[in-house]
Structure 1
Amino acid sequence: MPEMRFHIRWPDGAEERCYSPSLVVKEHLVVGESYPVADFAARSRTALNIASERVRAIYGRPCGLALAQRDRIETTAERFYADAGARVAVLGFED
């Protein structure tokens, strides 16, 4: 299963390198786009849940790294929900 990293910039300028065990993230995020924080969190949640289930289908258990990444994104996103104009930028993909 091809894993990947996706690079993002949070509204406070902090950049993060995120992990996915599947390329499915490319179906939910676009490099160069920025998303409202809640939308980015929802897209990431969907993609990482799908990625984890793909691992489960092959190995019989979900991907702990994908689920941990999903949880980190959701925890960080919560810090920005009060700012309606806050956006997360997708900087790039690394296959």
Structure 2
Amino acid sequence: MPEMRFTIRWPDGSMESCYSPSLVVKDYLTPGQSYTLADFLARSREALTIASARVEARYGFPCSRAIGQLARLERAGQAYATHPDARVAVETFAE
């Protein structure tokens, strides 16, 4: 399966490299775009859930790295949950 990394910028300016076991992330996020925190998390949740399901369909088990990445994003997003104008920018994709 083609895997990819995508780099994001959190509302505080910190950058993070993220992992997906599938290119499906390209259907949900766009480099150069920023998203409200809630929208970014919803898009990431859907994309990484699909990516993990694709691994499961092919190999018989879900992708623990995709599930872990989603958990990491949701945990980190909690730090900005009280900021109504918080946005997350997608910087780059790397395949």
TM-score interval w.r.t. the shorter chain? over 0.9
Measured in 1, the distance between the counterparts of 2:50 and 2:59 equals 14
* Structure 1 match to 2:77: 77
RMSD (CA atoms): 0.4
* Structure 1 match to 2:64: 64
- Alpha-carbon offset, residue 91 of structure 1: 0.1
Measured in 2, the distance between the counterparts of 1:93 and 1:73 equals 16
* Structure 1 match to 2:90: 90
Measured in 1, the distance between the counterparts of 2:84 and 2:35 equals 11
- Alpha-carbon offset, residue 81 of structure 1: 1.0
- Alpha-carbon offset, residue 49 of structure 1: 0.2
3-state SS of 1:2 partner: coil
* Structure 2 match to 1:29: 29
1:8-53, CA deviations, whole angstroms, 9 ceiling, x for partnerless residues?
A: 0000111000000000000000110000011101100000000000
Matched, 1:48 2:48: yes
| Structure 1 gap segments, 5+ residues each | none
Measured in 2, the distance between the counterparts of 1:75 and 1:26 equals 22
Work out the percentage of aligned pairs sharing the same amino acid.
Answer: 58
3-state SS of 1:12 partner: coil
3-state SS of 1:18 partner: strand
Q: Structure 1-normalised TM-score?
A: 0.99
Measured in 1, the distance between the counterparts of 2:74 and 2:46 equals 12
